[in-house]
Structure 1
Amino acid sequence: MNFLNTSNAIAGPSHQRASTSIGFSSSAALNESPKTRQRQNSLLETNPNHNCSALDRSPTHLLDDPFNPTRFPIKPARARPANRSPSSPSKKRHYGDRFIPTRGDGLDLSTTFQLMPDGPSTPTRGSGSKKTVVAAVTDLEKDEARRTFTNLLKAETFGSEPTDMPTFINHSPSHSRHASTVPNSSPGTPRKSTPKLFNYSSPTRKESSNLDSPTHQRYSTTPIKHESQRLLLSPRKPTRSLSKVPFKVLDAPDLADDYYLNLVDWSSTNVLAVGLGSQVYLWSAATSAVTRLVDVAVPGSTDHTTSLSWIGKGNILAIGTDSGKVHIWDTQVGKRVRTMEGHESRIGCMDWNDYILTSGSRDRSIVHRDVRAADHWLSRVNVHKQEVCGLKWNTSTNQLASGGNDNRLLIWESKASNSMPLFRFNEHTAAIKALAWSPHQNGLLASGGGSADKRIRFWNTINGNLLNEIDTGSQVCSLKWSKNSNELVSTHGFSPGPIQNQVCLWKYPSMQQIATLSGHTYRVLYLAMSPDGETIVTGAGDETLRFWRAFPKKRTPGGSGSSANGVGISLTGSPILNSNGLGPSALPGGTGGGSGSMLNLFAQMR
């Protein structure tokens, strides 16, 4: 195939296109004028290291040439002297059409022969050990097929043993304050030479002895090698079926597009609380009934809801407001239990540790309260230099993680007398709102940075070490760990690239991206998970709540699926008998109530 016969634009004063035949020599070329021959010969050169001709191209142009698998820049041609006599005899040049790529020792085959890149990437900052993954729309089945094809092509072409290579580098947690690294070979490290494509040699006695094997390639009825056939026929774990469209969409008017607020939370009794403006609504997953719980704006005030948090077990809901007040509501009877003050500005985040309620505010303080005591006040700490925008309790280790707009992540002990944090982490370069404790490993914390950071970092809060980090390429708004598998979900916002406002599922600790869910048109600021751990709900400034079946069912000793005494009711409407279910009679006011903006009842089935 003569693929070197091509036409190239020669830049000149007239910017005209000149056709240059490279793959063969024509007899018509002998009748050309000396000036024409001199101009063409000045553009061509026979490379002494290759059996082909080379064009005078820039290295950048060569990188985009699909017919140059070596991807190495070729030296520019040397122009002939301009004062050469036109009548002087010229050496006849013959150009062949054979193209043999150069494969030196230590050549990265997976990079050199990957003609189609997987997608755009964002450069990492700092050391090369930090992974960069730009979130994109992925498909597990397509990725698996692509990896299998790459392995088979390499095995069939170069004779290497086919292996199942993962898409992402597996970063196992290491006890170090630095990110986990993958050692790179230094230039002086001896490397095994790549086998030659064409190797002509007499068969050895060892090779001849293999003819007795029934699996020898000479006895095969197919050109595919035995090792490749074994790889193709080997049983594989089926990929999880994951829908990339939400199965339910709820309209949420006046859902604020504010990065520092937390306006969506899902209770253990399977009721979703949503803050819309100054009002709080409850949506029952059992009956799809919607109830307006309260309007925090008293007559004559402009107060509005800024954060919501359900108690770990029960029907108690804490409501934080812009005025710095915390309202405690018993949603089962529809009654406000108490109102607590203590902050001077809005309360953007809250979390529970049993009956201890911790709140963070724009006034840079963290307040601990015991809602059972008449004198609820426990302690107050002021360590963050700017607004506290993230709080998460780890009930297994009794540690509290707090993130602030000062780009600092602090770890606190549960003792109320401690006014100084146990650990201070300053690696993030933006506000830290997304915090999540792993339910599968004690002391494992995931934190996400804002638009100037874009990284998810993993910490060992037992010894204070940074385990791993990954650059997601976009603002990290929220994080949640799966209750049923070692996976986590992240929601994203601003991004310099074309892909933003996405929901990403990750496998830990390899941080292989399982899927990317898209549909929101604004930043996905809010995230909550159902009690059974199978469904997540996301909220954004586009004033919609989208429900996704993101995680598998919890495995039980008797088989797969949720346990019989699981908490909550499936969002598909199938009731699960349990003592903690919240029926329609438990909701105050039935299915309606109130005027103004309201969580619409219609749900668009996708």
Structure 2
Amino acid sequence: MSLLPFFPGFLYVCPNLPGLCGVYWCKPARLTPPETPRRSYRVRKMNNRGRTPGSAGRTVRPSVQQNGLTMRKRDMTPTRNTNLVPNASFIGDRFLGVRLDQDELDHANHLMTSKLYNKENLNNSISEPNSPEKKNVESEALKQMMRHKSAGALTDADDGDRILCYKKNLAPPPAIGYINQVLYSTNSVINPASSVKKSTRHVKETASKVLDGPGLTKDLYSRHLDWGCHNWVAVALGHELYLWNTETCVIKNFFEDNAPTSEGMITSVRWSQEGRYISLGYASGAVKIYDPNRPKTTEYVRELRTLRVGGASRCASIAWKKQGVMTCGYKSGDIVNHDVRVAQHVVSSWGGDNGHSRDITALEWSSDENMCVSASSDRTAKVWDGRHTRGDGVVQDPEPLFTIDEHTGQVRTAQFCSFRDGILATAGGINDGTVRLWDVKRQCQKIRELNVCETGGVGGIVFNRPYSEMLTASDDGFLRIFRFNANYKLSHEIQASNEPIMDLVGSPYDEVLIGDMEETLKVFQLFTVDKSTNILDRTAPKNVGLNVR
């Protein structure tokens, strides 16, 4: 058998060739070109330099001792830490990062091209490649990248940037016929805030101060207390007058056992609006004006003048105007306006056939001093025109603007609302126990009737501006707070005394004072305002202009 060319990948049988009998497999020849010399060959070549004789022919694979194990270079995860790999400048392969999020790459590119890596911030000097300036720039860029990732890529704004800026008239108008897809509306039907219950304020139901008032007259139709604008309280105890400073707790007897007894008992007490003078009404009908600032060197030196009206008896109510006009109500039902600045002090009167037929129980001026309301035991309340107090040719005994005659009992008190212009409140006495609200701007139209006390009358009314509330004191010893809303709801009910409350006065701030038939005086802090939302001037001087001596 002649020699035949061997083709790789075929099986040959040689039975006739001596020494070659058998079956042979021809290995396929390599069809691909030889590999390019790898880098490891160059590494071995360089490592063999300077090797001692006898070690030629052996290939020493670079290895690293880590955690007690010998690991080859190709078995290790690529790292940039040059401390673990000797000759790291010649060993290693390319490091391919995993692109998890394209947004992160875009943000990194933005940081690289932003002001953090401009030419002014980068330090490219060879002497200081890792200067603090460069490290700070890199640290700031890293913080922004981490913040961008942790924030869920909500915004790429820098710290301090305004991401929300509300401006007017910047939104383009919608197209004609466009219908908004409403997800939230301020309509009360779907307003989620309408179902949230508003928190109610806390009211202190116990008295903050309690004082004894021996000799306090048990008369439901006299005014024994008044709280001045300078925080001085005047208390009439029989024939004596006491002044009490609620801040310093100083109590002084105004007359010091020299009270005049010829005029009888004190039936009414009232401070002037500026708090400089105090007027006292007596059972004899006389009205005396005193100046507490004047030094007392001799008897009655503080008395400025005495006002008398012929045929008048028992002055049970007094009201002051800012212009020095004092309005007094008498037992006969007459109402007289006195100008204390002139010798002929009587300037006008409201009475006669158009006035009241029985004693006057309350007098109050409106905040603008255009109207004055009077309450009487004849079961009526009348509203008078305030212009009829000048005495310049005005007709005497004019007709009242309005007459309220719906009460079933005596009208014990009346008060204008301090926070709603034109609202008038009148309270009934025994056998009535109601408070009726009127709108004097609408021909004295009745707004609401509130049943306050079922076993007696209402002795006092105080309005509170910060909370828009009305406080009442009644013969059953309760203080009741009504909110001035659509329903005039009763919000709080406090048992202040076990006896009927005769007097109720309010302070210039957040306190009220009551006087009851137990001959006690009690101070309640019912209208304390939160300091964060306080609209009252608590820092105003309370005792300026009044120095009782």
Number of the residue aligned with 1:121: none
Structure of larger gyration radius: 2
Is 1:360 aligned to residue 337 of structure 2? no
Task: Say which of 548, 565, 576 aligns to 2:524.
Answer: 548
Number of the residue aligned with 1:492: 474
Question: Secondary structure in 1 aligned to 2:459?
Answer: strand
Cα offset, 1:233, TM superposition: 12
Asked whether the equivalents of residues 366 and 380 of structure 1 are also in contact (C-alpha less than 8 Å), the reply is yes
Cα offset, 1:537, TM superposition: 0.6
Of all paired residues, the percent bearing the same amino acid is 25
Asked whether the equivalents of residues 396 and 442 of structure 1 are also in contact (C-alpha less than 8 Å), the reply is no
Query: What is the distance in 1 between the residues matched to 2:258 and 2:432?
Result: 36
Query: What is the distance in 2 between the residues matched to 1:285 and 1:513?
Result: 29
Cα deviation per residue 1:382-429 (whole Å; 9 max; x = unaligned)?
210111111111031510101111001101001223521011111011
Task: Say which of 357, 371, 383 aligns to 1:399.
Answer: 371
Cα offset, 1:251, TM superposition: 0.6
Number of the residue aligned with 2:451: 471
Is 1:252 aligned to residue 213 of structure 2? yes
Asked whether the equivalents of residues 296 and 305 of structure 1 are also in contact (C-alpha less than 8 Å), the reply is no
Please list, as runs of the form range in 1=range in 2, the aligned pairs for 1:385-424 lying within 5 A after superposition.
Answer: 385-396=357-368, 398-416=370-388, 417=394, 419-424=398-403
The normalised TM-score by structure 2 is 0.58
Query: What is the distance in 1 between the residues matched to 2:544 and 2:503?
Result: 23
- Higher mean displacement: 260-269 or 334-343: 334-343
Cα offset, 1:263, TM superposition: 0.7
Cα offset, 1:480, TM superposition: 0.9
Number of the residue aligned with 1:289: 250
Cα offset, 1:516, TM superposition: 1.6
Unaligned stretches of 5+ residues in structure 1: 1-229, 494-499, 567-575, 589-606
Number of the residue aligned with 2:233: 272
Cα deviation per residue 1:481-525 (whole Å; 9 max; x = unaligned)?
1132210111101xxxxxx22111111142211212213222101
Asked whether the equivalents of residues 460 and 505 of structure 2 are also in contact (C-alpha less than 8 Å), the reply is no
Cα offset, 1:377, TM superposition: 1.1
Cα offset, 1:333, TM superposition: 2.3
Cα deviation per residue 1:368-390 (whole Å; 9 max; x = unaligned)?
01112222111122210111111
Cα offset, 1:276, TM superposition: 0.2
Query: What is the distance in 1 between the residues matched to 2:261 and 2:384?
Result: 39
Cα offset, 1:548, TM superposition: 0.5
Letter in 1 for 2:374: S
Please list, as runs of the form range in 1=range in 2, the aligned pairs for 1:52-451 lying within 5 A after superposition.
Answer: 235-294=196-255, 301=262, 303-333=264-294, 335-342=302-309, 344-354=312-322, 355-382=324-351, 383-396=355-368, 398-416=370-388, 417=394, 419-451=398-430
Query: What is the distance in 1 between the residues matched to 2:530 and 2:268?
Result: 30
When residues 521 and 376 of structure 1 are mapped into structure 2, their CA distance, relative to the original with a 3 A threshold, is: same
Cα offset, 1:448, TM superposition: 0.3
Is 1:581 aligned to residue 549 of structure 2? no
When residues 554 and 435 of structure 1 are mapped into structure 2, their CA distance, relative to the original with a 3 A threshold, is: farther
When residues 487 and 314 of structure 1 are mapped into structure 2, their CA distance, relative to the original with a 3 A threshold, is: same
Cα offset, 1:552, TM superposition: 3.6
Asked whether the equivalents of residues 261 and 306 of structure 1 are also in contact (C-alpha less than 8 Å), the reply is yes
Query: What is the distance in 2 between the residues matched to 1:292 and 1:481?
Result: 30
Number of the residue aligned with 2:488: 511
Cα deviation per residue 1:435-484 (whole Å; 9 max; x = unaligned)?
11111111100010011111100011122211111122231111111132
Letter in 2 for 1:479: I
Letter in 1 for 2:270: S
Query: What is the distance in 1 between the residues matched to 2:499 and 2:245?
Result: 25
Question: Secondary structure in 1 aligned to 2:533?
Answer: coil
When residues 323 and 296 of structure 1 are mapped into structure 2, their CA distance, relative to the original with a 3 A threshold, is: farther
Task: Say which of 534, 539, 542 aligns to 1:561.
Answer: 534
Query: What is the distance in 2 between the residues matched to 1:318 and 1:232?
Result: 53
Higher relative contact order (CA 8 A, sep 6+): 1
Task: Say which of 511, 515, 519 aligns to 1:535.
Answer: 511
Asked whether the equivalents of residues 466 and 535 of structure 2 are also in contact (C-alpha less than 8 Å), the reply is no
Number of the residue aligned with 2:503: 526
Question: Secondary structure in 2 aligned to 1:372?
Answer: coil
Asked whether the equivalents of residues 484 and 554 of structure 1 are also in contact (C-alpha less than 8 Å), the reply is no
Query: What is the distance in 2 between the residues matched to 1:387 and 1:430?
Result: 14
When residues 234 and 258 of structure 1 are mapped into structure 2, their CA distance, relative to the original with a 3 A threshold, is: same
When residues 240 and 299 of structure 1 are mapped into structure 2, their CA distance, relative to the original with a 3 A threshold, is: closer
Is 1:483 aligned to residue 465 of structure 2? yes
Query: What is the distance in 1 between the residues matched to 2:263 and 2:356?
Result: 27
Cα offset, 1:237, TM superposition: 2.3
Cα offset, 1:543, TM superposition: 0.5
Question: Secondary structure in 1 aligned to 2:421?
Answer: coil
The normalised TM-score by structure 1 is 0.53
Question: Secondary structure in 2 aligned to 1:358?
Answer: strand
Please list, as runs of the form range in 1=range in 2, the aligned pairs for 1:37-56 lying within 5 A after superposition.
Answer: none
Question: Secondary structure in 2 aligned to 1:459?
Answer: strand
Question: Secondary structure in 2 aligned to 1:439?
Answer: coil
Asked whether the equivalents of residues 271 and 582 of structure 1 are also in contact (C-alpha less than 8 Å), the reply is no
Question: Secondary structure in 1 aligned to 2:480?
Answer: strand
Question: Secondary structure in 2 aligned to 1:586?
Answer: coil
Query: What is the distance in 2 between the residues matched to 1:295 and 1:381?
Result: 37
Superposed CA RMSD: 2.4
Letter in 2 for 1:391: L
When residues 528 and 298 of structure 1 are mapped into structure 2, their CA distance, relative to the original with a 3 A threshold, is: closer
Query: What is the distance in 2 between the residues matched to 1:554 and 1:366?
Result: 42
Asked whether the equivalents of residues 417 and 463 of structure 2 are also in contact (C-alpha less than 8 Å), the reply is yes
Cα offset, 1:286, TM superposition: 1.8
When residues 296 and 502 of structure 1 are mapped into structure 2, their CA distance, relative to the original with a 3 A threshold, is: farther
Letter in 2 for 1:340: L
Asked whether the equivalents of residues 332 and 357 of structure 2 are also in contact (C-alpha less than 8 Å), the reply is no
Query: What is the distance in 2 between the residues matched to 1:454 and 1:412?
Result: 24
Letter in 2 for 1:380: S
Cα deviation per residue 1:527-576 (whole Å; 9 max; x = unaligned)?
111111x1101101110011111114288xxx41254x44xxxxxxxxx4
Question: Secondary structure in 1 aligned to 2:255?
Answer: strand
Query: What is the distance in 2 between the residues matched to 1:530 and 1:240?
Result: 20
Letter in 2 for 1:460: D
Asked whether the equivalents of residues 535 and 550 of structure 1 are also in contact (C-alpha less than 8 Å), the reply is yes
Asked whether the equivalents of residues 413 and 428 of structure 2 are also in contact (C-alpha less than 8 Å), the reply is yes
Query: What is the distance in 2 between the residues matched to 1:443 and 1:319?
Result: 29
Letter in 2 for 1:538: I
Cα offset, 1:431, TM superposition: 1.1
Query: What is the distance in 1 between the residues matched to 2:413 and 2:256?
Result: 27
Cα offset, 1:296, TM superposition: 9.8
Number of the residue aligned with 2:438: 459
Query: What is the distance in 1 between the residues matched to 2:547 and 2:375?
Result: 36
Letter in 1 for 2:446: L
Query: What is the distance in 2 between the residues matched to 1:404 and 1:237?
Result: 41
